[in-house]
């Protein structure tokens, strides 16, 4: 069975990967059938021959979970379509303060709504 998987290269704690087509029983750093591209997870730089990868999938090669994710999030030119998360991590103190502000705002809105309803009923 053929697999499309990552082959690890690079130094200790500085990995880079090649996307390869290889027999599933071969070891990770074994000789590949074809190299489809490369991926650096630290810098999020990727270059992938997407058409060849899709042809191999049509022939029956099974991509690993990571390679399937990379293929799905790949642009037409083979680069990674990486979107940085916009959420900001807050400390527990800052989270508590934000929650208190949200509660106060919600209470003020509820109070204003109740006052508006009371005015509407007294006018009618």
- Provide mean pLDDT across the span 29-48: 91
- Provide mean pLDDT across the span 15-20: 94
**Same-domain pairing of 6 and 43:** yes
From the list 52, 24, 60, the residue with the least C-alpha distance to 36 is: 52
- Provide mean pLDDT across the span 27-33: 85
- Host domain of residue 93: 85-124
Q: What is the pLDDT of residue 35?
A: 93
Q: What is the pLDDT of residue 124?
A: 62
Q: What is the pLDDT of residue 86?
A: 73
**Same-domain pairing of 15 and 61:** yes
Q: What is the pLDDT of residue 78?
A: 85
Answer whether residue 79 is part of any domain: no
**Same-domain pairing of 92 and 55:** no
Q: What is the pLDDT of residue 26?
A: 85
Q: What is the pLDDT of residue 113?
A: 86
Report yes or no: 19 and 37 within 8 Å, Cβ to Cβ: yes
- Condensed to tens digits (0 to 9), the pLDDT of residues 64-115 reads 999 999 999 888 888 888 777 677 788 889 889 989 999 999 999 888 888 8
For residue 59, pLDDT over 90 is answered with yes
**Same-domain pairing of 12 and 58:** yes
**Same-domain pairing of 6 and 52:** yes
Answer whether residue 22 is part of any domain: yes
Answer whether residue 53 is part of any domain: yes
Question: How far is it, in rounded angstroms, from Cα 68 to Cα 66?
Answer: 5
Answer whether residue 21 is part of any domain: yes
For the sheet with 45-48, list strands across it.
45-48, 34-40, 14-23, 2-11, 62-63
CATH number of the domain at 29, please: 3.30.1320.10
Q: How many domains are there within the chain?
A: 2
Q: What is the pLDDT of residue 54?
A: 92
The SS3 call for residue 71 is helix
């Amino acid at each position: 069975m053929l697999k499309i998987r990552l082959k690890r290269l690079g130094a200790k704690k500085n990995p880079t990967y090649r996307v390869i087509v290889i027999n599933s029983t071969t070891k990770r750093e074994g000789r590949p059938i074809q190299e489809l591209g490369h991926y650096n997870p630290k810098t999020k730089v990727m270059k992938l021959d997407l058409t060849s990868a899709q042809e191999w999938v049509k022939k029956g090669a099974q991509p690993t979970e990571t390679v399937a994710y990379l293929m799905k999030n790949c642009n037409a030119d083979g680069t990674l379509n990486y979107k940085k998360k916009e959420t900001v991590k807050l400390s527990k103190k800052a989270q508590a303060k934000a929650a208190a502000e949200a509660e106060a705002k919600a209470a003020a809105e509820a109070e204003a709504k109740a006052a508006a309803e009371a005015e509407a009923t007294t006018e009618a």
